[in-house]
């Protein structure tokens, strides 16, 4: 989801102060196997996934798409990590236009769907290439649908990221992580009152401690394979030391100082489909340059050091099968590879 102030609203919390509150996705149409309920059927090549590699919510969809082998069926548009007042922009593409959609700004797809839409323009965004209209910006549902509704287009031996027997447990674990970690770092970072910040800070580290305890004796969050729950945790953890520790003042400790979480994070980062989607240059430039209310100088820090990400993690000693009965994805398409110097 968009990390700009456009997509956050103030609201009363249970502790009685004005606080950060993430706005709900406005466009929640679903692309389903037959399209019977939504009118949007799964079709190869029909939809385009627009992301920012800086955004943790969009990164969920990037990872799911890679693990499931949907690159040939669902094309990818990547925005500039720096927005302007007209929203996410396609300045990384020739002539500043998305080569498939033909638009300069993601807001144009929103306008094609609903003229004068007053909310923020967020990623990930699923866009219909036939009409140019936005289909969905529902980051919570999108990856679940990729895992369950797009199965006819999955690669051979794709993993089951949302296995039916474990869905209730995955949902429960993911909900706590979303509330206290995924969104908790934003509640801390955008806090405008001390009490509000300290509550969010406490929530973040309480949940991280619980997760660390859970992962001390098991390789993955739910079951013995990678699931949706791991994807959702990874996208926050991978940004933690580079952004959230300093920029969002979540500074009790770094992830590298928690032996369990740091090993878990390295394990996933070294797994095909995870680290090969991460662009630390985009992540740092977006957060530090766009959030001028937090960082008015827009100076992007040189650190932290990127060494250590590829060191042995030894998590395989806990057992588990990363892809279950499936296999790892192959290398990313050449056009989607992260540039040299943007990742360890």
Binding residues: 88
Question: Which residue in the list 47, 110, 162, 186 is annotated as catalytic?
Answer: 186
**Structure tokens given for 167:** 């869905």
Give the long-range contacts of residues 148-152, CB within 8 A, separation 24 or more.
149/30, 149/31, 149/32, 149/33, 149/42, 150/31, 150/33, 150/42, 150/68, 150/70, 150/73, 150/74, 151/33, 152/33, 152/42
CA–CA separation, 10 and 261 (whole Å): 32
Give the CA distances from residue 132 to residues 26, 48, 115, 168, 201, in Å, rounded to whole numbers and listed in that order.
Answer: 17, 10, 13, 36, 41
Task: Identify the CA nearest to 141 among candidates 157, 153, 124.
Answer: 124
* 250 among known catalytic residues: no
**Structure tokens given for 313:** 């993690």
As annotated, the binding site for glutathione includes 88
* 287 among known catalytic residues: no
Q: Annotated active-site positions, please?
A: 55, 186
């Amino acid at each position: 989801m968009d990390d700009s102030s456009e997509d956050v609203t103030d609201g009363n919390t249970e502790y009685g102060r004005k606080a950060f509150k993430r706005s709900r996705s406005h466009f929640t149409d679903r692309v389903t196997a037959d399209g019977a309920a939504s009118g949007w059927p799964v079709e190869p090549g029909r939809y385009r996934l627009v992301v920012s590699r800086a955004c943790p919510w969009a990164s969920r969809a990037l990872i799911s798409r890679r693990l499931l082998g949907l690159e040939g069926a669902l094309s990818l548009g990547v925005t500039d990590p720096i927005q302007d007042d007209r929203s996410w922009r396609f300045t990384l593409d020739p002539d500043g236009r998305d080569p498939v959609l033909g638009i300069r700004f993601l807001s144009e797809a929103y306008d094609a769907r609903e003229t004068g839409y007053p909310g923020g323009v967020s990623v990930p965004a699923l866009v219909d290439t036939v009409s140019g209209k936005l289909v969905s910006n529902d980051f919570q549902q999108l990856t679940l649908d990729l895992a369950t509704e797009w199965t006819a287009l999955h690669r051979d031996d794709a993993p089951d990221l949302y296995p039916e027997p474990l869905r209730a447990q995955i949902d429960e674990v993911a909900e706590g992580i979303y509330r206290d970690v995924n969104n908790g770092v934003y509640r801390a970072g955008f806090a405008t009152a001390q009490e509000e910040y300290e509550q969010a800070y406490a929530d973040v580290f309480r949940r991280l401690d619980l997760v660390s305890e859970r992962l001390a004796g098991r390789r993955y969050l739910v079951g013995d394979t990678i699931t949706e729950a791991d994807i959702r945790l990874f996208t926050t953890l991978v940004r933690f030391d580079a952004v959230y520790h300093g920029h969002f003042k979540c500074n009790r400790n770094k992830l590298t100082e928690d032996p369990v979480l740091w090993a878990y994070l390295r394990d996933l980062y070294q797994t095909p489909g995870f680290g090969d989607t991460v662009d630390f240059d985009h992540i740092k430039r977006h957060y530090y340059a766009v959030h001028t209310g937090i960082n008015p100088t827009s100076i992007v820090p040189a650190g932290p050091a990127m060494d250590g990400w590829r060191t042995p993690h030894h998590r395989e000693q806990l057992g588990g099968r990363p892809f279950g009965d499936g296999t790892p994805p192959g290398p990313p398409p050449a056009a989607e590879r992260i540039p040299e110097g943007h990742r360890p």
